[in-house]
Chains A and B, each alone.
Chain A
């Protein structure tokens, strides 16, 4: 054995920022997360050059996966050029040499906060969702040790109870985003604060999804072809947001999740939340060659 075999040349920063030991820990936990879909796996969660709560969990998963041939898309609230998405994307490409894209179809890796793109993800693509609070039981049990025991016992009665109370009180289930869903018939997970519109996109999907909470140090996964079922009662079906009939005032496209823009006249205008889908639609209308992929929703209905 030589000294040289024990050392390596000095670098100002590891490839992809995280050092080999951090990546190995992430890899071990990512494999466990795939093996038990929807089950939160604890990890050390290294500090990265971004504030906690700003996508540090997603960032660690993405940094572990990145290689020079990766093509990376980052969105926040559905938009590629949202300020934090732009910041994360430029960091990712700078530390890895990966190509940047806004196009869902071209991306090998998509890191997202609060949305799943409207175009269907295909086999081979990886979606990394940033998670602020990984614990679906937090509203009924803030103590994490107790919540862990409840997951172990599949003791989800109190979650059903709050849904039932909402129906009694408001005539419907009042959960907004982050709708609790059963994965592989066993673990209830929060799909991260994606709108209900996006939850069915995780069910029996082609792609692999990682969900990672850096601050809370938990990571979980939804492998391809895995059942993801929102908690519902047999006589009260799951309802996505009532956006199917809305039309984007910029692109003229309708039938997708929209941002509501309050207007001076007291009304509202709507625009596509998936900003690059809007760009593609406008380009297409202007005669440019741009391919819009198959979408999960067609004419406002889940296809």
Chain B
């Protein structure tokens, strides 16, 4: 390295601060959750706040139906929006109102599939509705059970999916996360 080049890079080995380490680990969990639908990945901290930190900022439009979390979202600079205009939705899907909101969530278009939103909701893993998943990220098929979700959720998801348009979902249970991208075919067993 020349003297000049040497002065351009940090002298010591860089160390991520707590925020960087946390958001990096959160994203890694989300990335593998979406890459291997149905597998349970581990978040560095329980709840949705970590996802907000890792993904959302002033470039985002966020739907959030939880007052406490809304304050946290607003702090990132993101615009709080109704479901129909959101690119990220942190929402309750344990009640009928959740279905109404999900009906509004943007699915993008064949021209711009990336306009389909990312939906984050709480669920209980290992109980409730049994689902069989097939599609990218799954070698043959995988079965999971997700509980604490409003009936009709999977029918609504199927009705609104027009691949490559659709929305992508993350379910959170404590520090565990399961991802269901729009590319996953879900069979309700």
- A residues within 8 Å of B by Cβ? 8, 12-16, 20-21, 23-25, 27-32, 34-37, 39, 41-42, 64-65, 67-68, 94-97, 148-149, 151-153, 184, 186-187, 204, 208, 223-227
B interface, size bucket? 35 or more
Q: Are B111 and A15 in contact (CB under 8 A)?
A: no
Q: How far is the CA of A32 from the CA of B107 in the complex (A)?
A: 12
Q: Are A34 and B31 in contact (CB under 8 A)?
A: yes
B149 at the interface (CB under 8 A from A): no
- B residues within 8 Å of A by Cβ? 9-10, 13-17, 19-21, 23-25, 27-28, 30-32, 34-36, 54-57, 59-60, 87, 109-111, 113-114, 116, 118, 135-139, 163-164, 166, 168, 181-183
Q: Select B14's contact among A24, A37, A96, beta carbons within 8 Å.
A: A96
Q: How far is the CA of A92 from the CA of B79 in the complex (A)?
A: 34
Q: Are B35 and A223 in contact (CB under 8 A)?
A: yes
16 more CB-based (< 8 A) A-B contacts, given A14-B20, A67-B21, A148-B111? A16-B16, A20-B23, A23-B23, A24-B23, A27-B54, A28-B118, A31-B30, A32-B113, A34-B137, A35-B168, A35-B183, A41-B114, A152-B111, A204-B139, A224-B35, A226-B137
A83–chain B nearest beta-carbon distance, Å: 15
Please, which residues of chain A bring their CB within 8 A of the CB of B34? 31, 34-35, 223
> Across the A-B interface, how many residue pairs have beta carbons closer than 8 Å?
129
Q: How far is the CA of A236 from the CA of B87 in the complex (A)?
A: 44
Q: Are B17 and A24 in contact (CB under 8 A)?
A: no
Q: Select B136's contact among A42, A68, A184, beta carbons within 8 Å.
A: A184
Please, which residues of chain A bring their CB within 8 A of the CB of B10? 12-13, 94-95
Q: Give the one of B20, B114, B137 with max A CB within 10 A.
A: B114
Q: Are B136 and A15 in contact (CB under 8 A)?
A: no
Q: How far is the CA of A246 from the CA of B165 in the complex (A)?
A: 46
B30–chain A nearest beta-carbon distance, Å: 6
Interchain residue pairs with CB less than 8 A apart (8): A14-B20, A15-B17, A20-B19, A20-B57, A34-B137, A36-B182, A208-B32, A223-B36
On whether A225 and B110 interact (CB within 8 A), knowing A13-B14, A208-B35, the answer reads no
On whether A94 and B110 interact (CB within 8 A), knowing A34-B34, A35-B181, A36-B164, the answer reads no
Q: Are A97 and B14 in contact (CB under 8 A)?
A: yes
Q: Are B31 and A68 in contact (CB under 8 A)?
A: no
Q: How far is the CA of A87 from the CA of B27 in the complex (A)?
A: 27
B4–chain A nearest beta-carbon distance, Å: 13
Q: How far is the CA of A156 from the CA of B17 in the complex (A)?
A: 47
Q: How far is the CA of A151 from the CA of B110 in the complex (A)?
A: 8
- Chain B: which residue is nearest A126 at the CB level? B31
B11–chain A nearest beta-carbon distance, Å: 9
On whether A65 and B28 interact (CB within 8 A), knowing A13-B14, A35-B183, A224-B137, the answer reads yes
Q: Are A34 and B182 in contact (CB under 8 A)?
A: no
Q: How far is the CA of A168 from the CA of B41 in the complex (A)?
A: 51
Q: Are A32 and B168 in contact (CB under 8 A)?
A: yes
Q: Are B24 and A152 in contact (CB under 8 A)?
A: no
Please, which residues of chain A bring their CB within 8 A of the CB of B114? 29, 32, 36, 41-42
Q: Give the one of A8, A42, A184 with max B CB within 10 A.
A: A184
Q: Are B16 and A67 in contact (CB under 8 A)?
A: yes
Q: Are A37 and B15 in contact (CB under 8 A)?
A: no
Q: How far is the CA of A12 from the CA of B11 in the complex (A)?
A: 10
Q: Are B164 and A68 in contact (CB under 8 A)?
A: no
A200–chain B nearest beta-carbon distance, Å: 16
On whether A34 and B181 interact (CB within 8 A), knowing A39-B164, A42-B114, A224-B35, the answer reads yes
Q: Are B28 and A34 in contact (CB under 8 A)?
A: no
Q: How far is the CA of A30 from the CA of B32 in the complex (A)?
A: 11
Q: Are B24 and A67 in contact (CB under 8 A)?
A: yes
Q: Are A97 and B13 in contact (CB under 8 A)?
A: yes
- Chain A: which residue is nearest B56 at the CB level? A24
Please, which residues of chain A bring their CB within 8 A of the CB of B19? 20
B16–chain A nearest beta-carbon distance, Å: 4
